[in-house]
A and B are shown apart, each in its own frame.
Chain A
Amino acid sequence: MTAQPEGPVLSARSLTKRFKSGKGKEITALDAVSIDIPRSAVTGLLGPDGAGKTTLIRIATGLLVPDSGSIRVLGIDLAAHPGEVQSRAGYMPQKFGLYEDLTVQENLDLYADLHGIPKEERSKRYPELMHMTGLGRFTDRLAGRLSGGMKQKLGLACTLVRSPDILFLDEPTVGVDPLSRRELWEIVYRLVKEQGLTVLVSTSYLDEAEKCDTTVVLLQGKVLAQGSPSEISSIAEGRSFRISTPETLKPRQLQARLMEAPGVVDATLEGRLVRFVESDPGELDPALLRGLTVTPVRPRFEDAFMTLVRRTEGKERDPSEARVRLSPDQAAGVSSELVVEVRDLVKRFGAFYAVRDVTFQVRRGEIFGLLGPNGAGKSTTFRMLCGLLQATGGTLSVAGVDLHHARASARQRIGYVAQKFSLYGQLSVLENLDFFSGAYGLRGGNKKERMQWALEQFGLAQYSGSPAGQLPGGFKQRLAMACALMHEPEILFLDEPTSGVDPLARREFWHRIGSLADLGVTVIVTTHFMEEAEYCDRMVIMVDGEILAAGSPAEIRGRARMTEDREPTIEDAFISIVEDYRQERRAA
């Protein structure tokens, strides 16, 4: 490696980029962004969807040209010599172009060929990469057969095949299970430590920010803050608290109330405890917390992030709009009545068991979570529950029937939101609502009323005439939910409702789900975001088609190994449970 001049490896000054969107409208993706990225360190780029993260990375790799501003990468002016920068930079986009019909080795060879890596260098480089990513045993496997996490590792290996000086990673951990996420981060750190690599990584997982050396917080194309995670966290100094939930309430109900209270920027669940962040010290009405034990806690990155975001967005996001109100006759509340019963459920595709001996029950008004990494069998279980797939073995009953064999009218009692929000993209919001209410036989005044309800409750009125396909991610999810709720179902199935949705929209979403459950709607939800499990009343953890653990969030948490000084999270518990399971299998 040639000697580098000291100073930042990448420095951008007042970068601005606008995109045309449809009829004469313009979107400012980046608005006078100036950042510096230090050498041999990991810089995290954080922000919700549409903040401008991908645009910034694409400009830094020379794939996009900014409208104004300048950027120097590795001491080279990018505008003048883009080729020189590109030959020394590695870039892994969100959807990395792996060839699914080629094996791991063939993919590597292909990228080595593309970059013109000589044979002798390959024989040195390959073992390193294989060792680092742990893919050595799978070189003959087709890339399409790898799990989500292994695909990302292979993508990383292909990007690293020619030892770049700077590495750009665009949301490398989206859709990757916690275990693989942890491993990916370990790989990145080893590269920084051993090879002095400089890394810029974008992510919308706020907990990953704490793993970075420095962070840049982006929102609506503007840089809100820049600094080390602890510097940023200190913004919320003296404003983060934790309270324990009184016996009379569910933690998520307390959390929902805090979310709605003025002066609170964020509230999250930690078992029986609720953590909240004040917008300014002393802003919160003390009467609200009367009789509750409030403990100040050390702020974390997420607290500061939410403070920054709320400050910028002002009153635009009113959490009270996120509360779903159903018609009063549905306000049933929680009962002990079982609405879903699954016993020894099996689904086999050829010789492959997608679901094996799964048993669980769900009571009316519960939020029930199916957690697990991609490919664990969550969606397959779901599709069987909704009647889309026939079970190979076992029994299942939803609202008293097996939907696969029951009369079509039995499906009137369930609502289903598929993994990618299944809407008619060309049709407007209103036309989608109209179709789905017609599909469930609504008509006349009742139909009009429900459509009005959907527009109001989901804040969709402003978009009522826009094609569903062009809505921002969070609004697509809202519309999908609204369509599934038009006929006031008793049971709501949500398959990965928060995947591809940013942290802010996810908070709103869980807020809505909580109020639905309080009204007696049974909610069954799959997710691979472990922290979201806190919102569930009960859950099961699935891996390789089997249930490894079941219980309330507190019970699941209890299974985490106590190794660190902080309190265990559901994610820690998940990792311990999966590691134990894998060890057992290896031993067997």
Chain B
Amino acid sequence: MESLRRIRALIRKELLAVLKDPKSRFIMIGPLVFQTLIFGYAATYDLDRVRYAVHDQDRSNASRQFLAKLDGSGTFARIANLHDQKEIRALIDNKEVLLVVQIGQDFERRLIGGQIADVQVISDGRNSNTAGTALAYIGTIVESFNAEWTRSRGGLPPPAKAVPRSWYNPNLETRWFMVPGLIGMLTLVQMIILTAMSVAREREQGTFDQLLVSPFRPMEIMVGKSVPSILIGLVQSTIVLCIALFWFRIPFQGSFVTLYCGMLLFLIAAVGIGLMVSSAVATMQQALLGGFLIIMPFALLSGLSTPISNMPQAMQYLTLINPLRFAIAIVHRIFLEGAPLRVIAPDLWPLALIALASLSIAVMLFRKRLG
């Protein structure tokens, strides 16, 4: 009872300290909203109006038909018609275009003659991500051009055709993948920094000693420091969730209860890591640097920026201690696929283990530091 009362006093004080000041209230919410909007709009692999140039040596009906398909797709924007092969280099080098489509002078003749007609596509490989996606798009367009051509000549349709249907994200919009992922990513950053700083601030101001000479037990201080951070984290993840739902209108397929169960476990793990940082540092500056030192690899190994299955095996093992990896997997599955608790269990229990480990290490470091 006594112990609970002391913890309650500490929790109230922590929340007051953070929420009383309008400036720190803004810092809790402002950057979060701002970052979610920026990521939602800016971080996208979807192509839109890719600038390209055409060197059409054929100038035939067939080549015009093909180019009309390209222009009509909405994905590509033609900005130049070239008359000489030599013009290509300058355009690519100056980044004026990402692609140049070159059609040989015997394009139509070969098509009519039933021979293979080449469409050469030159791309700027310095931007490999975008170029790759754009080339794949062109491939699709060529395929559909072929089908139409054969059909209009009364020929047989191509023997086999891939019919893609993307489940859970039918248009494969990056935003649907990115914004729900931010629920984990942004809260992780805030949790680690907030928790690490709150202890470091007390050390710097000398109030930590004041806590240590009062009847607080180390465990009580840990709980009193964790609960407010977790509460704030829940509010913050709700804010990102609301932006995803109501601003970007990303359809939510799962259950909110399941989502919050996963988030709670994730927040406990994140706070545990924040406390670990705080028991290792002495000043606020160190807390901030230490926090970012941990956040960066967590963010890179989370699977949000690059797929985990593409990483070298050793790196893949490393992601197993990253709470963000599991949190993002959980959020994606609940959000887009509507996975029930049973299905996300394989991602939940590692999160629980990480939470347990980080909190235990934090308590250990804390005790050790007290001598």
- Chain A residues within 8 Å of B, Cβ to Cβ: 383, 386-390, 403-404, 408-409, 411-412, 414, 416, 418-420, 422-427, 431, 434-441, 443, 483, 493
Contacts and interface: CB of A to CB of B under 8 A. Distances in A.
Contacts of A418: 206, 209-210
B13 A440 contact: no
A423 to B, nearest CB: 7
B371 A426 contact: no
Contact of A439 (B205, B216, B371): B216
A434 B205 CA distance: 19
Nearest to B210: A422
A386 B5 CA distance: 23
Interface string B208-221: 01111111110000
Interface of B: 2, 5-6, 8-10, 12-13, 16-17, 20-21, 205-207, 209-217, 371
A167 to B, nearest CB: 34
Contact of A426 (B2, B20, B210, B217): B20
A438 B210 CA distance: 13
A422 B215 contact: no
Given A416-B209, A439-B215, A439-B216, A427 B16 contact: yes
A88 to B, nearest CB: 39
A414 B207 CA distance: 16
Nearest to B5: A441
A420 B206 contact: yes
Contact of A422 (B2, B6, B13, B209): B209
The 7 A-B pairs with the shortest beta carbon distances in the complex, nearest first, are A438-B9, A422-B206, A390-B371, A416-B213, A435-B13, A422-B207, A408-B217
Nearest to B217: A408
Contacts of A426: 17, 20-21
A426 B17 CA distance: 6
B275 to A, nearest CB: 19
A393 to B, nearest CB: 14
Contact of B214 (A424, A436, A443): A436
Contacts of B211: 439
Contacts of A403: 213
Nearest to A383: B209
A440 B215 contact: yes
A411 B213 contact: yes
A386 B213 contact: yes
A390 B370 CA distance: 9
Given A403-B213, A423-B207, A439-B214, 7 more contacts: A404-B371, A411-B213, A422-B210, A434-B9, A435-B12, A435-B13, A441-B2
B13 A441 contact: no
Nearest to B214: A439
A388 B211 CA distance: 10
B214 A427 contact: no
Taking chain A's interface residues, is the majority helix, strand, or loop, or is none over half, making it mixed? Answer: loop
B244 to A, nearest CB: 33
A504 B211 CA distance: 30
B13 A388 contact: no
A383 B2 CA distance: 26
B18 to A, nearest CB: 9
A443 B207 CA distance: 22
B214 A411 contact: yes
Contacts of B214: 411, 436, 439-440
A443 B8 CA distance: 11
6 contacts: A388-B213, A418-B206, A422-B210, A424-B17, A425-B205, A435-B13
A440 B213 CA distance: 10
A154 to B, nearest CB: 25
A464 to B, nearest CB: 15
A196 B168 CA distance: 88
A431 B211 CA distance: 15
Nearest to A411: B215
B213 A412 contact: no
A110 B17 CA distance: 42
Contacts of A427: 13, 16-17, 20
A232 B213 CA distance: 46
Contacts of A440: 214-215
B216 A408 contact: yes
A422 B205 CA distance: 6
A435 B211 CA distance: 11
A388 B207 CA distance: 12
Contacts of B371: 389-390, 404
Contacts of A390: 371
A57 B19 CA distance: 39
Contacts of A443: 5
A420 B10 CA distance: 21
A468 B78 CA distance: 66
A155 B213 CA distance: 36
A172 to B, nearest CB: 25
Contacts of B12: 434-435, 438
B12 to A, nearest CB: 7
Contact of B207 (A424, A434, A493): A424
Contacts of B2: 409, 441
A424 to B, nearest CB: 6
A416 B210 contact: yes
A409 B213 contact: no
A479 B17 CA distance: 18
A435 B9 contact: yes
A149 to B, nearest CB: 24
Contacts of B207: 422-424
Interface centre among B2, B12, B210, B211 (most CB of A within 10 A): B210
Contacts of A416: 209-210, 213
Nearest to B213: A416
Given A422-B206, A422-B207, A423-B207, A409 B13 contact: no
Given A416-B209, A422-B210, A439 B10 contact: yes
A564 B332 CA distance: 86
Nearest to A438: B9
A412 B9 contact: no
Interface centre among A390, A408, A419 (most CB of B within 10 A): A408
A493 B213 CA distance: 10
A435 B10 CA distance: 7
Given A416-B209, A439-B211, A431 B16 contact: yes
A440 B6 CA distance: 7
B205 to A, nearest CB: 6
B215 A408 contact: yes
Nearest to A432: B13
Nearest to A484: B210
Contacts of A431: 13, 16
Contacts of A411: 213-215
Nearest to A412: B215
A427 B15 CA distance: 11
A579 B13 CA distance: 49
A403 B137 CA distance: 73
B240 to A, nearest CB: 27
Contact of B6 (A383, A425, A438, A493): A438
